[in-house]
Amino acid sequence: MSGYPRGMLSHPLDPLSAAELESIVAGVRAARGLDERHLVSMVALEEPSKSELSNWSEGDELDRSARITIWDRVAGLVSEAVVGVDGNLRSWTDIAGALSPVLGPEALDALAAAKADSRVIKALADRGITSPDDVHMETWPFGAQIPAGLDDGRRLIWTPMWHRPTPEANVYAHPIGGLRAIVDLDTGEVVAVEDQPGFPIPQTPAPYRASQTGANIELRELAITQPDGASFSVDGWQVSWERWKFRIGFCQREGLLIHDVRFDDEGTERRIAHRMSIAELVIPYGDPSPGAYRKNAFDTGEFGLGNYTNSLTLGCDCLGEIVYLDVAVTDGDGAVREIPNAICLHEEDFGILWKHTDELGHVEVRRGRRFVASSIVTVNNYEYGYFWYFYQDGSIEFEAKLTGIVLTLAAEPGKDYPSSTEIEPGLLAPFHQHIFCARLDLDVDGTANSVVEIDAVAEAMGPNNPHGAAYTTRETVLTVESAAQRLVDPFVNRYWKVINPDRTNHVGKPVGYKLVPGHTTYPMAHRESVIGKRAGFMYSHLWVTPNEATERYPAGDYPFQHEGGAGLPDWTSADRSLVNTDVVLWYVFGTNHIPRTEDWPVMPVERAGFHLKPAGFFRRSPGIDVAPSAPKHCH
């Protein structure tokens, strides 16, 4: 199945359709007399509040609106308008001090200007490259210090470059060291060319296309067939599978979203989460070389990660009985672009769910299955897959899949590069970290929740621990924001639990869902560094805030060239109460990427993520109710 019917607007949380986006852009342009100096930075659904949603029922009129961010290139001003999907302007607010993220049309203009610049052409010729068309350039925001003299607040990008020696070459094998153009995004002017000789262009090709590598390791066909069809249904953007019910969402900044997660517990539909997303992704680079230290991009906040969503291909990206959902985004010039097959919905076999062989030899075993909602983005060299999994034991997992091509630098002969891996002679892959921040608005049996930290503790040997192996747990309610900025701690098996203090389970304990950290990392950048200040959220793995509709992005709404301090560090300085209230968890996780030669030429998928598991929520394992497999599959 593909091309799920669009335009079936049925729910206030449905992503903005292409028609709605067109109406919103046309509406704000007409109402405010906008012209070509005004770019469209971002359009996001104005999501209704929880009380508005609970008062809404199917068939009610939909009063949908969007927040559209307009960048005035001449005035250098961000404004936010709220516009109804009918095109009616409802409000207009200037946001002083904010700068727009990088937009497609201006990135193209900047690249064209860099390629036409006589200094760049000469510097390329000095390196033996006669045509700028054989050069791949990218537009990167300044993730670190802006060069002196250019730091007057204008929007700048810089352009790392790679040589393309043959039309189908992997350009990342051939970085052009020492050469960068810096372009004013708003005037399109090349304001500086940095040209430092002495970096030979690495020559070892890195082919990865099958036509180039002759890849021939094959296995026999493995067919995933569901002859009776899939076990899920999709109604508009709502998915029902097994006992789960939830809505798929999408926004051009965060990409894939999950809304309104519920589980049917023995006939009672119970709420677990209102909205879950990956609200930021930042990649600090750890090599001080000129071609690397600036590459600290906020892929979500500075680019709009959802804009780069792939169209997925049946049988390659996804296997089995698939439902694809299409999405629409708005480009900087206001043009609406549809992305077919942007979100993949399907089921996967997931091994055994549970098993026991008893003392009489009786065997009970259940196969497990999981539901997967996924999408993949390509941001320059890297691919990020966002995969949300729903399991039959009541648990949810998020997994980021990281693949694509590592960033590369050319080595200066004779110089040491202790912060990079040499992956081919003279070709360096700088150390870096991929740091994600999930925004998890959980509602465990309702919105009034608290968050508890649970550590396992072993008491000193003595009367309470006579044999030395006793341990217990220490539960600490995270009562205020300052007390809720926490780090993972595997030595005490730390996890966090969202509880509903007013709802108890069959043994009198508050019902809860726990957040189980997975593989993660801790930032290596100092807090007082430019990137450390701008991505202050990195320094705690967990933050908890009371739910505020305006608090969406952990590094603030406009991280582009922002000096830092915005977002979580700012909001939480109010030290608000977190007890028995509508809480949001911000979980920071990621990987520390010390590139391997085996990450080249295309990195095999690396994973990072977390689990949400029921903890005292159900009276027993929901997996018990899963029927045995049919005899034809299990004999």
Write down the catalytic residue from 308, 324, 382, 495.
Answer: 382
Q: Confirm whether 72 is a catalytic residue.
A: no
Whether the Cβ atoms of residue 208 and residue 602 lie closer than 8 Å to each other: yes
Q: How far is the CB of 377 from Cu ion (least distance, A)?
A: 14
Interface with Cu ion (CB under 5 A), residue total: 1
**460, 491, 557 from 466: Cα distances, Å:** 9, 22, 55
Beta-bridged to residue 409, according to DSSP, are 428
Q: How far is the CB of 434 from Cu ion (least distance, A)?
A: 5
Whether the Cβ atoms of residue 44 and residue 66 lie closer than 8 Å to each other: yes
CA dist., res. 453 & res. 512, Å (int): 12
Closer of 439 and 593 to Cu ion (Cβ): 593
Query: Residue 513: which of 443, 416, 459, 586 has the closest Cα?
Result: 443
CA dist., res. 152 & res. 148, Å (int): 9
Q: In what order do the strands lie in the sheet with 382-391?
A: 323-330, 336-357, 363-379, 382-391, 396-404, 603-614, 510-517, 495-504, 450-458, 471-477
Compute the chain's Rg from CA coordinates.
Answer: 26
Closer of 384 and 558 to Cu ion (Cβ): 384
Q: How far is the CB of 600 from Cu ion (least distance, A)?
A: 12
Whether the Cβ atoms of residue 361 and residue 373 lie closer than 8 Å to each other: no
Binding to Cu ion (CB under 5 A) within 549-608 occurs at 593
Q: How far is the CB of 137 from Cu ion (least distance, A)?
A: 21
CA dist., res. 486 & res. 473, Å (int): 17
Closer of 106 and 280 to Cu ion (Cβ): 280
Q: How far is the CB of 376 from Cu ion (least distance, A)?
A: 16
Binding to Cu ion (CB under 5 A) within 452-491 occurs at none
Q: Is the peptide bond before 601 cis (omega within 30 degrees of 0)?
A: yes
CA dist., res. 99 & res. 78, Å (int): 6
Q: How far is the CB of 593 from Cu ion (least distance, A)?
A: 3
Closer of 433 and 547 to Cu ion (Cβ): 433
Tell me: does residue 295 bind Cu ion (CB under 5 A).
no
CA dist., res. 37 & res. 306, Å (int): 24
C-alpha of 261 from chain center: 19
**Structure tokens that stand for 123 in this block:** 């510097």
Binding to Cu ion (CB under 5 A) within 202-231 occurs at none
**Structure tokens that stand for 527 in this block:** 């807090």
Write down the catalytic residue from 117, 287, 299, 599.
Answer: 299
Q: How far is the CB of 383 from Cu ion (least distance, A)?
A: 11
**x-marked contacts with Cu ion along 357-376 as a string, rule CB under 5 A:** --------------------
Question: What type of residue is 268?
Answer: T
CA dist., res. 111 & res. 157, Å (int): 10
Closer of 104 and 143 to Cu ion (Cβ): 143
Q: Confirm whether 471 is a catalytic residue.
A: no
Task: Tally Cβ neighbours within 10 Å of residue 273.
Answer: 21
The residue number with the shortest CB distance to Cu ion is 593
Q: Among all residues, which ones are annotated catalytic?
A: 299, 382
Kindly list the residues in this chain that would bind Cu ion in the complex (CB under 5 A): 593
